[in-house]
Amino acid sequence: MSAAYRFTPFELPPETVALRAEVRAFVQEEARQWNGWQIGHSWTGFDRELSRKLGERGWIGMTWPKQYGGHERSAMERYVVLEELLAAGAPVGAHWVADRQSGPLIMRLGTEAQKAKYLPAICRGEAAFCIGLSEPDAGSDLASLRSKAERVDGGWLLNGRKVWTTYAQDCDVMIGLFRTGFSEEHGKHKGLSQFLIDLKTPGIEINPIKDLTGESHFNEIVFDNVMLAEDALMGVENGGWAQANAELAFERSGPDRYLSSFPLLPLALAKLGESVDDPSIARDIGAMVAELTVLRQMSLSIQNQLENGETPLQEAAITKLLGTGLEQRMPGLIADIVEAQPLRRAGDTLSEALAYLIQVEPSFSLRGGTNEIMKMIIARGMGL
């Protein structure tokens, strides 16, 4: 039996119009200080000051209850804020992960004490989270991870190694997935648990890994007899795999899965001007805009289903696969269309943004699950 997906057009409610205008005006003002290289970073740009300002305006943790610092607004209002920030390439990395998945996870499964401790700080833009999943020997095959958390007197003892953890060197808290049960007994997916880990805890060593741009955004983290309190366990012991998986429909379907290269497009249009006599340029631009339009509709459709308590994992995998494909093609295509040289510090925003994005776009179809993993998920859903 083949899959029947649920993709239903969803129109943003009218109350989002004023909010959008407000966010857009704020972002335009902030954008004056960003150069093209920074804009290229989009949601991997780390700027605590911007996150604090967004927190002040009530644009982090928007949908969460007021008692935890949230603002009880709709998922669609949140969506509008996210897409306005991403369209401008705002450096939202200092709160992105917390707002997108760590916060919702704590809200869903956290204890009262955990909620009170972390959620208000996230909403203020003051608690930066990272996700500790991959290990040196566990990448796409995540369930084979080996870092251990042992139950000991007074809490948990962590040992092992995480890798490719984005901005761990700048973050406050990690939600890490560790082995708590023996794989033979539980099956390798079952003996895993999630922990809330203060990255200042003794025994944690964070080693930044320089990437091909010359910057260090990801890290290796060594856990050497790290002692955590009893209440560092997140959710259910040995239930970490299912918990981490439930986040994925959120993680894979947002506007950050198709807008990472978007800021290039208005810059390119400005450079081209209105008199373009090469029809192939019009076609390339029309094709990109058509794809963006469809991806935005898919993403909105999924948000709407998530809001209604559904978990459209297949649809999210499709949206991520198509979305990252587009954001991956855009830098090269746009560089060709405008005949721009990708140059850092060119004084030209487009050249600078291209310089960053051309180098990092290979990561778009890796982060959040590779293309190959997405295709595996889709094929399984199709009954293959």
List of residues contacting another protein (CB under 8 A): 1-3, 5, 7-9, 11, 20, 80, 83, 87, 265-267, 269-270, 272, 274, 276, 279, 281-287, 289-294, 296-298, 301, 315, 318, 321-322, 372, 374-376, 378-379, 382-384
Nearest distance in Å: CB 257, another protein: 13
Distance of CA 344 to the CA centre of its chain: 25
Q: Provide the b/e sequence for 248-287 (b: ≥16 CB within 10 Å).
A: bbbbbbbbbbbbbbbbbbebbeebeeeeeeeeeeeebbee
CB nearer another protein, residue 142 or residue 316: 316
How far apart CA 104 and CA 6 sit, in angstroms, is 23
- Written as six digits, the tokens of 187 are 């099956």
- Closest CB to another protein among 185 and 277? 277
Residue 350 CB, nearest approach to another protein (Å) = 11
Q: Considering beta carbons, is residue 246 or 281 the nearer one to another protein?
A: 281
Least distance in angstroms from the C-beta of 330 to another protein? 13
Q: Give the Cα separation of 239 and 115 in Å (integer).
A: 19
User: Computed from CA positions of residues 292, 295, 299, 301, in that sequence, does the dihedral angle turn out positive or negative?
Assistant: positive
Could you tell me the smallest distance in angstroms from the CB atom of residue 59 to another protein? 16
Residue with the two structure tokens 């991959």? 134
| C-beta of 1 vs 212, nearer to another protein | 1
**Cα Rg of the chain (Å, integer):** 21
Closer of 213 and 370 to another protein (Cβ): 370
Q: Please report how close the Cβ of residue 141 comes to another protein at its closest, in angstroms.
A: 14
Taking the least distance from each CB to another protein, the nearer of 20 and 148 is 20
Least distance between another protein and beta carbon 136 (Å): 24
Minimum CB–partner distance for residue 288 and another protein (Å): 9
Nearest-CA neighbor of 342 among 32, 36, 31, 33?
36
Rounded to a whole number of angstroms, the minimum distance from the CB of residue 130 to another protein is 30
Nearer to another protein, 4 or 113 (CB): 4
- From residue 341, alpha-carbon distances to 331, 337, 357, 358 in Å are 11, 11, 12, 11
Is the CB of residue 41 less than 8 Å from the CB of residue 364?
Answer: no
Closest to another protein by CB, 102 or 349: 349
The long-range contacts involving 240-244, CB below 8 angstroms and separated by at least 24 positions, are 240/177, 240/178, 240/180, 240/192, 240/193, 240/194, 241/143, 241/177, 241/189, 241/190, 241/192, 243/105, 243/109, 243/194, 244/133, 244/177, 244/192, 244/194
Buried b (16+ CB within 10 A) or exposed e, 349-366: bbbbbbbbbbbbbebbbe
Q: Is 83 or 170 the residue whose CB approaches another protein more closely?
A: 83
Minimal distance, residue 254 CB to another protein, in Å: 15
